[in-house]
Structure 1
Amino acid sequence: MRMKEAYEAYLDDYNCLNVYISKNFFEGKSRIFHLKDTHDRIIPLTIQSRSDLYNGYTHYQLSLNGALQMGEEYTLYDEHCQTTVVRYSHIVKTERFNEQYNYEGDDLGLTYSKEQSIFKLWSPIALQIVLCLKNGGEAETYPMHREEKGVFSVTVHKDLLKARYTFMVRVNGKWNEIVDPYTSFSGPNAEYSVVYDKSLLHLPPRVPMAPLADNVDAIIYEASVRDMTSANDIGVENPKKFKGFTEENENTRAKNTGFSYLRSLGVTHVQLLPVCDFGSVDEVYPNIFYNWGYDPVQFRCLEGSYSTDPRNAVARIEEFAQLVHNCHKAGLRVNLDIVFNHVYKKEEFSLEKLVPNYYFLMNREGEFSNGSFCGNDIDSQPPMARKYLVETCRRLIEWFDIDGFRFDLMGILDIHLMNEITQVCRKMKPGFMIYGEGWNMPSFVPENLRASQINQAEMPFVGHFSDSFRETVRGSNADLNQQGYSNGNFDLIYSMMDRMSASGNAFNAPGKVINYVECHDNHTLWDKNRVACHGEGRDVREKRQVLANAMVLLSQGVPFLHAGQEFGRTKQNLGNTYNRSDNYNSINYIRRDHHISIVTDTIKLISIRRKYSCFRLRTVEETRDQTSFQTIENRVLVYICESKEDKCISFFNPSNGYYTYNLDHDVQVIFDNGSSNTHLTRNIQIAPYSVIVCDMMKQSA
């Protein structure tokens, strides 16, 4: 934000200098200005315009009467010989800057060998950069040399393995210390980077897994590394850690906790809440604070609080790699929650200190976009920003064999970035999943370029969370009293038909529709129903939980479950527990046992979806032609879907009434949580709050 100091100057283009002077500072007046660089060379300036602003500042727009040398440090002089350092600002957003300084090399950061280590950083506007090494007890500094395309480089001819390092960067008249934004080897709490090389890591072998044929074949289960094992007395020796997430032993199997429990559900993908370095938990004392992790500090480093040894830069990498390996061995794919839309603290972000303003959405007036409501929005359009984000995704697949990415607040990013990430990832790993929150966020990105639902047709392989599905099934997130179809609003039964057929009017492929009623954000479904279904007993709310879960799992599209949704997870009636301690967020296995009927029914529904292809149609045409709906008294939803292999009829009754539906032949009842039907029947008895699924192909002789 501009106009915080009495006297400010900003280079906004190659021939445009904007100056702001407070009227408390020589009345904001100056007849003349000039620039001086660090070699005492003068560049005269011409005043193109002068205007008095409403906030007590005078604005001058100046042009330069001389050539600008990028990376030089300029001081502005006014008629009173008062000075201020000129800040490189919107100039870094110009096409000319991008054309001149787009660096296509893949060697930024550290290139290590026993004989030498080469350090490179990209900062066209930096005056100086110094490498600061701590090798054992010895501290050394090495000035880096400016090369083409704004790259600074230095080579140290010795074996620096495991040495600690940072950089001092002189930009816009200030020295700032940064860690290496390109490395994956970090000390605790992003205090320093560590010299190491991927080839020295002990990474487990890859587990061959057949490519996912279509997104609709996935059943996604969202879980936190910490939450799954943070409860007491569950038999895990490394709770809240990467190692603990996939830890199994006699105790976990006997108690069906942690990974043993996760495996028992039958889902295909686990989506992990952010595992890359975030800023709101002390990695050395991780139990003091709790956080979901949506506050990135280092995009390419893993979170140290999930490591058994946060001071060991290698441990977190090898432990996470083992987590993925163990999941794959169990037949479970791993998707990562990627937060590319903002950072924890913009002013302390390494890339921001290297090239201020370049990596964040900013207009010509120096105002920053805040569509994320986090105080800063990443700018995914400049070429070096886009390259950084794409290469970060590539590294996560190369190093860890990840199976998919879920993008937080994806609508802050642009469609071209998402398509490039998708192309790179799916080329590396066919069947790779890409999806995210496609909300139309109010950022500086033009609406037609936002990676939001309204532009889904421009992103052929990118999925979106369906908030319309969520709102129709459960009711409003904002108003807990407002009911959806599953908890009693029968007026939504016809809207439910469109949602269950993959919202074909809003999306051009079922595999792009992520159907959900609950995620880490907002109240859990159970807590929502406490209010929306006030007065109903626990037995009825359990039935409603199964009803909503069934709609998620049997609808066309991609089903998504939040960890604990399968047993009525509660966050103690709080909607946002991102920093509210383990007590609010841990998976409560005692509660799971109290609501085991929901778990059992949800597991049955998961197995039905996996077995019957009619719930996994792959084109909009199929969902239109091969699904049909009826109602019983505009209360019970009847859902018929078929494929070449199978055909099913399902009934959803969110009312307290009993109903009958007669078929012309016997069908096999494969799910009935109302326990009202025999195994084979043509007269379907529909109990209150029940779900019934029938195989129409398996008839009696």
Structure 2
Amino acid sequence: MGNHSNYHKDSHAFTAYWDDFNVITVMVEEGINDYREFILTDGHLDIKLEINGDFKLGKKRVVSLLTDTDYTPGTEYYLKHASGEESLVMTGKVVRTKGFDERYHYDGDLGNFITKKGTLFKVWAPTASNVIVNIYNDSFQKVNEIPMLRQERGLWDCEANGYGEGTLYTYSVRVNGSTKEVVDPYVKAATSNCKFGMVADLAKTNPQNWDPTSKPTHAKPSDSIIYELHVRDFSIQSKSGLKYKGKYKAFTEELPDKDGIPQGLNYIKWLGATHVELLPIMDFGSVDEMKADPQYNWGYDPIHYFVPEGSYSTDSHHPYTRIREVKEMVAAIHNKGLRVIMDVVYNHVYHLEASNLEKIVPGYYFRYDHGGKPSNGTGVGNDTASERKMMRKLMLDSVTYWAKEFGVDGFRFDLMGIHDKETMKEVRYEIDCIDPTILLFGEGWHLNTILPDYRKATISHAKELPRIGFFNDRFRDSVKGKLFDTHSSGFATGNFSVKEDVKKCIMGSIDDYFITASQSVNYVECHDNHTLWDRLSRSHPHSSEESKHQMHRLASAITILSQGIPFLHAGQEFFRTKNGVENSYKSPDRVNKFDWRRLRAVKENVTYIKGLIEIRKYFSALRMAEIHEMHSIQFIDTPDSTIAYRITQENSGETLVVVHNAGHHSEWVYIGEGEKWILADGIQAGVDPLDKTEDSSIFVAPLNTVVLIKIE
């Protein structure tokens, strides 16, 4: 049928797509009426066609053709018509069929691998007709092009002799008739803005005495107290006292106490958190690593899933620096007795069309609706397809890489409800094989993506996903008010109709959502939406500042003292404000900064939150996980504005009594006979008793939390 290498997509008569292994869909524009005169060729042989049907779609005609020979990915097929018009048959929906996954998924290693002679390159590109490794020098000039060989199951590889560690490279992938230059999706080291991948010897990125398995012990998930933090926020304020502002290295700095409060990472240790959760530190696209001007983004716009973000590094140009500095940060956090959680974003990419994944295997890694448009449950224009084998593999390979290479101790999955349950179960299994104490949790929101609801890893399916945690939206909404009605109130802010919901949340929501309380991630503030202080300013604009302080303390106390995993947003302990900005994902530093001056100005509240954390960590009864343990919690009859309960501490004979008074009036609460020590009174808290009482009832002030212990 002739040579089609100079084919140009300038024909407007029709376009054609492989939608299954023996089905071609043709979109006929104009001028063609006899569909029996189509001929298919692979460049060597003509392939028999049969008309399967046709129908009108707007001004176009859609024709379905059946072939008697299965589509072979990587072959350039042409559809010709007797009229002389022809079109390259593009790879269409066939890549999203179950058969494609079964025939072409590859379960081996991908990326670059240093050998004795050079480097072995491996990329999965089943639909490509040609793949080349482009070699660049340190001046970013191309010095060689090395053809790759097609192997089984869509793999392409080649060994580039003479090109070892430090080699800069890209791939040129020809697919659907055009060639695009891409960066290896599995690359571990890259130049600024990840424009070029680099062959890396990761051992050379290790800090002195680096051991990713040397980390603080951690018995069970409910022992966790999570402190969510943005790398840049933490150190960027001029008064932070930290030298490496906005950088990973700020976490490695040692500073003396100031005004009686530790600085830097020592502060988080002092406060009592067990885990530092970092907003995304994988390479993301919204910050230009080449620009010196201040830039800000939360980083929920991923590009590379194996490369650390360079804007938090002291030198984004050198590929090793960012890797080493993340390891130094993790080591510093571990050395303080803290663990590290990564916020990971596998549910979408920065831009679909610009994605290396889309350029290499168009249409495969993402979901599309029945009309062929990208599914948009994430709200950013694309949803990744975790249910497909190679997207699932990418997620598993990425998570396990960060756990092994960097010693990461937990993963918070952004928009986890968009992923399928099977993938999340496999993630849990794979990290269990590395370290069963690694935390795994995420946002189990129901999102409108093109995946059947029964397959989604949503909070409604939590009981099918053991040992995977979920942000508890019922806890959030019942304690502070409904998320999307910023003028509404929750129990802590004056709405007592939700009292029974709050009691269930205090029990870890085990009756409603979860198998164990440790699946419940309890929070009233996170990076998303208003801070709790800004929310109170909207929902209670006429309340006094002291009244809002009390409501804020009460909501935080309920969070810290409930069964499950308490989650605190950095600065929650000092009434963090973002000046009313609800979605500060790209707001400047003056909005997002961690305000060390505000922290010191409200030191009494900070030490109160610290004291509540001490109480939680000291009494195991506040950290139960299994359902059978919950029988030791007994709620006390109280007025509508008050919740009170007793917890019997196993093996010690101690009984904890917790009282939350959300009303604006003092209340008498019956707490039982015997001598009791007061550990928290709404102003102070800690394991050292503040006072003692032998009264059977206690007078609880308005908007207050009281904790007592009774020793039998």
Shorter-normalised TM range:
over 0.9
The separation in 2 between residues aligned to 1:491 and 1:320, in whole angstroms, is 47
AA partner of residue 522 (structure 1)? N
| Aligned match of 1:118 | 120
TM-score normalized with structure 2 length: 0.93
Shift of 1:159: 4.0
| Aligned match of 1:375 | 381
The separation in 2 between residues aligned to 1:343 and 1:244, in whole angstroms, is 28
1:652 is aligned, of 640, 650, 660, to: 660
Given that residues 236 and 252 in structure 1 are in contact (C-alpha distance below 8 angstroms), is that contact kept between their aligned partners in structure 2?
no
Given that residues 641 and 661 in structure 2 are in contact (C-alpha distance below 8 angstroms), is that contact kept between their aligned partners in structure 1?
yes
AA partner of residue 563 (structure 2)? Q
Does 1:60 find its partner at 2:63? yes
| Aligned match of 1:425 | 431
User: What's the C-alpha RMSD, in Å, of the aligned pairs?
Assistant: 2.1
The separation in 1 between residues aligned to 2:163 and 2:564, in whole angstroms, is 53
Could you say if the C-alpha distance between residues 255 and 219 of structure 1 is closer, same or farther in structure 2, counting changes exceeding 3 Å?
A: closer
| Aligned match of 2:46 | 42
AA partner of residue 275 (structure 1)? I
The separation in 1 between residues aligned to 2:655 and 2:60, in whole angstroms, is 72
Does 1:463 find its partner at 2:469? yes
| Aligned match of 2:692 | 679
The separation in 2 between residues aligned to 1:99 and 1:495, in whole angstroms, is 46
Does 1:100 find its partner at 2:109? no
The aligned runs of 1:119-134 (5 Å cut-off) are: 119-134=121-136
Does 1:175 find its partner at 2:183? no
Given that residues 303 and 349 in structure 2 are in contact (C-alpha distance below 8 angstroms), is that contact kept between their aligned partners in structure 1?
yes
Does 1:160 find its partner at 2:164? yes
| Aligned match of 2:351 | 345
AA partner of residue 62 (structure 2)? H
Unaligned runs of 5+ in 1: none
The separation in 2 between residues aligned to 1:533 and 1:487, in whole angstroms, is 8
AA partner of residue 672 (structure 1)? D
Q: Deviations over 1:255-309 (max 9, x none)?
A: 7433232222111011110000011001122644311000110011110001100
Moved more, 320-329 or 651-660: 651-660
The separation in 1 between residues aligned to 2:12 and 2:582, in whole angstroms, is 40
| Aligned match of 1:89 | 92
Shift of 1:632: 2.9
Shift of 1:653: 1.2
Given that residues 441 and 470 in structure 2 are in contact (C-alpha distance below 8 angstroms), is that contact kept between their aligned partners in structure 1?
yes
AA partner of residue 127 (structure 1)? S
TM-score normalized with structure 1 length: 0.94
The separation in 1 between residues aligned to 2:263 and 2:193, in whole angstroms, is 30
Could you say if the C-alpha distance between residues 251 and 605 of structure 1 is closer, same or farther in structure 2, counting changes exceeding 3 Å?
A: closer
The aligned runs of 1:282-321 (5 Å cut-off) are: 282-285=288-291, 287-321=293-327
Given that residues 341 and 410 in structure 2 are in contact (C-alpha distance below 8 angstroms), is that contact kept between their aligned partners in structure 1?
yes
Could you say if the C-alpha distance between residues 523 and 28 of structure 1 is closer, same or farther in structure 2, counting changes exceeding 3 Å?
A: farther
The separation in 2 between residues aligned to 1:304 and 1:96, in whole angstroms, is 39
AA partner of residue 288 (structure 2)? D
Given that residues 340 and 408 in structure 2 are in contact (C-alpha distance below 8 angstroms), is that contact kept between their aligned partners in structure 1?
yes
Given that residues 468 and 519 in structure 2 are in contact (C-alpha distance below 8 angstroms), is that contact kept between their aligned partners in structure 1?
yes
Does 1:694 find its partner at 2:708? yes
Given that residues 207 and 325 in structure 1 are in contact (C-alpha distance below 8 angstroms), is that contact kept between their aligned partners in structure 2?
no
Q: Deviations over 1:344-399 (max 9, x none)?
A: 01112112211111111235653332111111111112222212211111110111
Unaligned runs of 5+ in 2: 1-10
Counterpart secondary structure, 1:664: coil
| Aligned match of 1:619 | 626
Counterpart secondary structure, 1:70: coil
The separation in 2 between residues aligned to 1:11 and 1:178, in whole angstroms, is 24
Counterpart secondary structure, 1:695: strand
AA partner of residue 598 (structure 1)? N
The separation in 2 between residues aligned to 1:154 and 1:189, in whole angstroms, is 26
Q: Deviations over 1:195-247 (max 9, x none)?
A: 11223332423463454222111000110111101111322111111111332
AA partner of residue 91 (structure 2)? Y
| Aligned match of 1:496 | 502
Could you say if the C-alpha distance between residues 13 and 608 of structure 1 is closer, same or farther in structure 2, counting changes exceeding 3 Å?
A: same
| Aligned match of 2:7 | none
The separation in 1 between residues aligned to 2:286 and 2:261, in whole angstroms, is 32
Counterpart secondary structure, 2:242: coil
Shift of 1:413: 0.7
The aligned runs of 1:269-288 (5 Å cut-off) are: 269-285=275-291, 287-288=293-294
Counterpart secondary structure, 1:508: coil
Q: Deviations over 1:557-608 (max 9, x none)?
A: 1110011111111111121110111111111112222322221111100110
The separation in 2 between residues aligned to 1:474 and 1:73, in whole angstroms, is 59
- Paired positions, count: 689
Given that residues 502 and 510 in structure 1 are in contact (C-alpha distance below 8 angstroms), is that contact kept between their aligned partners in structure 2?
yes
Could you say if the C-alpha distance between residues 535 and 60 of structure 1 is closer, same or farther in structure 2, counting changes exceeding 3 Å?
A: same
| Aligned match of 1:666 | 675
Counterpart secondary structure, 2:604: helix
| Aligned match of 1:543 | 550
Shift of 1:34: 2.1
AA partner of residue 281 (structure 1)? V
Shift of 1:489: 0.6
Does 1:26 find its partner at 2:31? yes
The separation in 2 between residues aligned to 1:364 and 1:480, in whole angstroms, is 36
Given that residues 608 and 684 in structure 2 are in contact (C-alpha distance below 8 angstroms), is that contact kept between their aligned partners in structure 1?
no
Given that residues 207 and 328 in structure 1 are in contact (C-alpha distance below 8 angstroms), is that contact kept between their aligned partners in structure 2?
no
AA partner of residue 109 (structure 1)? G
Counterpart secondary structure, 2:504: helix
The aligned runs of 1:349-360 (5 Å cut-off) are: 349-360=355-366
Given that residues 171 and 181 in structure 2 are in contact (C-alpha distance below 8 angstroms), is that contact kept between their aligned partners in structure 1?
yes
Shift of 1:43: 2.5
The separation in 2 between residues aligned to 1:42 and 1:457, in whole angstroms, is 54
Shift of 1:67: 4.5
Q: Deviations over 1:126-166 (max 9, x none)?
A: 00011100134561111111112221111111143212110
Could you say if the C-alpha distance between residues 650 and 176 of structure 1 is closer, same or farther in structure 2, counting changes exceeding 3 Å?
A: same
| Aligned match of 1:74 | 77
Given that residues 18 and 71 in structure 2 are in contact (C-alpha distance below 8 angstroms), is that contact kept between their aligned partners in structure 1?
no
AA partner of residue 692 (structure 2)? H
The aligned runs of 1:525-604 (5 Å cut-off) are: 525-604=532-611
Identity across the alignment (%): 34
The separation in 1 between residues aligned to 2:684 and 2:45, in whole angstroms, is 89
Could you say if the C-alpha distance between residues 675 and 75 of structure 1 is closer, same or farther in structure 2, counting changes exceeding 3 Å?
A: closer
The aligned runs of 1:383-402 (5 Å cut-off) are: 383-402=389-408
2:231 is aligned, of 181, 200, 225, to: 225
| Aligned match of 2:5 | none
Shift of 1:311: 0.6
Could you say if the C-alpha distance between residues 9 and 692 of structure 1 is closer, same or farther in structure 2, counting changes exceeding 3 Å?
A: same
Shift of 1:407: 0.3
Given that residues 216 and 338 in structure 2 are in contact (C-alpha distance below 8 angstroms), is that contact kept between their aligned partners in structure 1?
no
Shift of 1:31: 4.9
Given that residues 628 and 640 in structure 1 are in contact (C-alpha distance below 8 angstroms), is that contact kept between their aligned partners in structure 2?
yes
Given that residues 523 and 574 in structure 1 are in contact (C-alpha distance below 8 angstroms), is that contact kept between their aligned partners in structure 2?
yes
Shift of 1:538: 1.2
